[in-house]
Structure 1
Amino acid sequence: MGVEGLVEGDAETPDGGRPVFLGRSSAAAFISEVRGNSLKRRRGDDGVRVPSTNSPASQTSRLSRRAEVDIADLMQQLLLPPRRVADHHLEYYWKYLYPFNPIFHRATFNQRYEEIWTQNLPTTSSPSGPSPEIEDADAIRAFYSLFNILIALGSLHSTPSPEGRSTSSKAVTGDTFFNRAENLITERTMSHNTILSVQVYILMAHYLQITGKVNKCWVMVGTAIRIAQGLGIHLSSASESQAQQQERRRTWSFCLQMDRILGMMFGRQPMAWPHAPDPVPALCDDELLSMEPFSSIRSIPRNEESVLGYFVYSVRYSELLLEVLKVVYTQDVANSAYQGGFRLETYFELLRLDSLIGEWYSQLPPHLVVQADEDFVGEATVTSQAVAMLCRYALPSVAF
């Protein structure tokens, strides 16, 4: 049996964590396949299976007892701010940051968020995760970490809070919630292969980028990408809903964007070099996405005015940015420049990339383009997005 498709996600981690993605060429996948074929042959010889003390029922019973203890211990560690403080900072996250990087399905997050205040535990199953019945302390830990990092991000843009704090305390407030999020992350969280873990690490990296802690940001992005690759987040599943599919694609796309932006910033080779472009998230608002299983096979209506417009076109831009980085690392452009100029082939390649970036900018919807005679009035977020797109259009010219 091949290891791609279902089997790619069927290999369990050594510590008993969730299944991980195994590529066809991996040694672990080869050993798993050989072991499976060997078991088939042995069962075929006598037709009798030896009873195992590690039956699924007994394993489930032991895991349930351990999970109850883990959850009880975790609940003693969790700290929640007053509801009005959390609402205040999240409001600014939704207003100023979410339109730029809308990586999760907002309705699903809001449901979990409400459950924090109305139930003992939130329903931590994401649109891309397993059912709530098999969630454990690691899933709850990951969600509370996500909750704290969103408050940290929102606090960077918020006005004085209901508690009367001045705007000068934004960094202190942000760092407080960031530290809470970071303290909830453990080695076990890295083995907890769900999209929640990926979202926690990439949003922590985003916070570090905004606050200027770029070296730690670089490490966090790498961690997010490795967890995502282990999860097989780039793989499609026929059983997933449209909401699951889009949250998965948005999260992976944001990981790739951060990887490439930091690669350009530091002059380093990105971690992820896909052989072919991954599917771009759809230009469609969350309200129009179905949450029914198997609905991902249906077409998703396109809306050029979607709030995801900036994010989707940024994903396409990051693919062009990757092409620029490939030129730098495969043709040694920097050394060529110091040795008296570029080779003719390099000039042609740079002109080709410049043409592609110009074509990308010309395809932007009107609300994402700064007009020459336009006064900077209107909705602040849309204006910021248009200015950011103009800066991205000019970036390669500055880089070269």
Structure 2
Amino acid sequence: MGAVEDERPTQGFFGSSSAASFIRQIKTAVDERVSPPDRRTSDSILGIAPSSNLLSAKTPRPSTVSNYVLPPRKTADGLIGVYWSFVFPLYPLVDSIHLRAEYEKIWTGETLYSDENMLMCTFNVTFALACQLADFIPPGEREASADAFFSRAKDLLQFNLWNTGSAALIQCLLLMAQYLQSTDSAHQCWIVTGLAIRNAQGLGLHLPQTVARLQNPQEQQLACKIWHGCVLMDRVISMTFGRPAMISTAACASVPLPITVDEEYIPTVAGSEVTQPINQPSIIAFYAKSLELYEILNEILLSLYSPTIEETPEDIYNFYFDKESNKGEHTIFELDRALSKWSRSLPPHLRGEPCPGSEHTVFYHQSVVLRARFLHVRMLLFRSTLSKYCTARDIGASDPLTSLRDSFPHRVALQCSTICVKVAQEIIGLIHSNLPMDGSPGPLPAWWYNILYIYTAATVLIAGRLCPTILEEVTEAKMTQSWNCALEVLRKYHSYSTSARRCVAALEILYERVASEGPLPNLYPPNTFATTAGPNGLRDSSFGGSIDSAFLGGLDFPDFQDMSWLNSVPSNLF
């Protein structure tokens, strides 16, 4: 989820949708509160010590049989089963029919149709990704086991920067980027995603004529899935790090979305009809709807989170909603309408209505993940207004006829802010209620996405807690309940990742600091925070949880009228 190790090279620039300024200021406190992760390399299911570099610094050696070593068949089958069950239905970036056949040939010794080196590299990445989700591996051992496979994959990846890539290389790089999301390797995830995109563009996959020239429908659909896999990762990484997307909206739209027909029903002969059987929902429909959703996310980032020159707004309309000066951007109302239209367009099997006894079927899994993604995008849509609402004091105060609280834009901003808080509560409730107790992924997104969603929602709760007008519509009791559920989820992920531990520490420090500020002048009535004086003058709060005041000592906290901390994400805990 982010760069958290000590003494690492700089992670580079982080933009406005990440806004890491607050997180940097509490780095010392978080480091003191969270001990370094205990990496159990000796307990890896492979017994191989993990490596720390993305690409081996040594000169690539010629492939030999020893490089192709695989885990025991039972372990390999278990891991590849996790990939096909929990990863592929959400990210169908490979030709599953071809890859399944090649997997069987590896064990039987038959001749492979693929490049052996790239194939073994791809399988090791899938094993690494599956290790992070496999319930038969104890959570404390997953990181070491996964890194062992990923280290082997890096040795097998003989990537030459000067040569043209291949479709197999792009697929492998996208899988690597997926895996790196589960690690502390933020910079490597960013770079690998960029490599995949540049290689795809080098092959012309971003051009509709390239897809049209392919020989049969199966190849055409695979090309579409690979290109839009690059688009999807580009959007997700851009949102997480607050950096500019590499792929423009026009480049994304030029290649049609993959058709909602599963692989086994796509013919290999050109000119044949491509249809999904009646009464058989398509697994690929989830992928297509996710791509549509993340394109709305991209518009939100471009319209509401792009860097702008700081200017004093002339009136409250400009402060909240005016976009006339930024041509090509969309208003919050247009973006919300786009999300509503997207939601109404979902097919029945992706609406989150499980059939009796099928809570963990692939379609219910997809519907829960899609719901979580939608709520997160909607929360980001309204979060910028919430941030402004928490700091709006004198805007429009000079109007002799209309008070600030009675003005139309202020009322609309209040509703947007309230919606943001309610959406945050909803996503916390969704994840908390579906969190399996056995360590399996269950119907939820991968745990690293859950950390991102919960952390983002928790910061929204803190911001909403600052405003009594929001608490009039969202009761304090429900806010506290959501807060406790958020921390409970993050604490359940303590053994999975350092990021979860750092998120809990950061949230507690953040809330305690907000609470210690007290009610902001001229806006909030006394006793906004139900706190009592504690040691060293700090107050304990049931909402934020207690925290040692030593963690706050000596820190130069920002003015909490600056809400940049609201836009921070776990990837910036470094």
Alignment equivalent of 2:82, drawn from 70, 88, 92: 92
Structure 2 unaligned segments of length 5 or more: list them: 1-59, 385-574
Q: Are residues 1:113 and 2:95 paired?
A: no
Deviation at 1:204, TM superposition (A): 0.4
Give yes or no for the alignment of 1:264 onto 2:236: no
Decide which structure has the larger Cα Rg and report it: 2
Report the Cα offset of residue 191 of structure 1. 2.5
Q: Select between 230-239 and 260-269 the one with higher mean Cα deviation.
A: 230-239
The alpha-carbon distance between structure 1 residues 184 and 335, as it changes in their structure 2 partners (threshold 3 A), is farther
CA separation in 2, counterparts of 1:337 and 1:219? 37
CA contact (8 A) 2:321 2:332 kept: no
Aligned to 1:300: 274
CA contact (8 A) 2:267 2:274 kept: no
Partner Cα separation in structure 2 for residue 171 and residue 329 of structure 1: 33
Query: Is the contact between residue 238 and residue 244 of structure 2 (CA under 8 Å) also seen in structure 1?
Result: yes
**Number of matched pairs:** 308
Q: Out of 76-85 and 307-316, give the one that drifted further.
A: 76-85
Which structure shows the bigger proportion of residues in helix conformation?
1
Aligned to 2:134: 158
Listed one character per residue, the Cα deviations across residues 42-92 of structure 1 (whole Å, up to 9, x for unaligned) are xxxxxxxxxxxxxxxxxxxxxxxxxxxx99744343222222221110011
Indicate whether 1:232 and 2:207 are aligned.
no
Q: Distance in 2 between matches of 1:334 and 1:379?
A: 48
Post-superposition Cα deviations, 1:18-52, rounded to whole Å, max 9, x if no partner, equal xxxxxxxxxxxxxxxxxxxxxxxxxxxxxxxxxxx
- Stretches of structure 1 that go unaligned for 5 or more consecutive residues are 1-69, 125-138
Contact 1:376 1:383 in 2 (8 A): no
Instruction: Tell me the residue number matched to 2:122.
Output: 146
1:123 equivalent to 2:123? Answer: no
CA separation of 1:364/1:173 partners in 2, compared to 1, >3 Å: closer, same or farther? same
Q: Which residue of 2 aligns with 1:80?
A: 70
Residue 290 to residue 213, structure 1, CA distance change in 2 (3 Å): same
Q: 1:287 to 1:78 in 2, by over 3 A?
A: same
Residue in 1 aligned with 2:261? 284
Work out the CA distance in 1 between the residues paired with 2:100 and 2:162: 24
Partner residue of 2:359 out of 378, 382, 390: 378
What pairs with 1:167-206 in structure 2 (closer than 5 Å)? Answer: 167-188=139-160, 191=163, 193-206=165-178
Give the TM-score, by structure 2 length. 0.49
Distance 2:71 2:162 in 1: 26
Q: Is the alpha carbon distance of 1:118 and 1:396 closer, same or farther for their aligned partners in structure 2, counting shifts above 3 Å?
A: closer
1:368 paired to 2:342: no
Q: 1:376 and 1:326 mapped to 2: Cα distance?
A: 42
Which residue of 274, 297, 306 corresponds with 1:321? 297
Q: Deviations over 1:181-225 (max 9, x none)?
A: 112123327725211000111100001113343332111101110
**AA in 2 matched with 1:94:** W
TM-score when scaled to structure 1?
Answer: 0.69
Give the superposition deviation at 1:238.
3.2
Alpha-carbon spacing, 1:270–1:225, altered in 2? closer, same or farther (3 Å): same
CA-CA distance at 1:343 after TM superposition: 5.0
Deviations 1:240-294 (A, max 9, x none): 22211111111111111111111111211101114250210111111111223xx
CA distance in 2, matches of 1:216, 1:375: 43
Matched residue of 1:306: which SS?
A: coil
Asked whether 1:251 is paired with 2:226, we answer yes
Paired with 1:264 and 1:306, the residues of 2 have a C-alpha distance of 28
- 1:98 shift after superposition: 0.9
Is the CA contact 1:320–1:356 (under 8 Å) kept in the aligned structure 2? yes
Aligned twin of 1:4 = none
- Aligned-pair identity (%): 26
8 Å CA contact 1:93–1:153 kept in 2: the answer is yes
Residue 228 of structure 1 and its aligned partner are, at CA, apart by 0.9
Q: Which amino acid letter does the alignment assign opposite residue 283 of structure 2?
A: V
1:320-378, Cα deviation, whole Å (9 max, x unpaired): 22222332466x5695699971452369622111101110011111221236x999962
* CA displacement at 1:111 relative to structure 2: 1.6
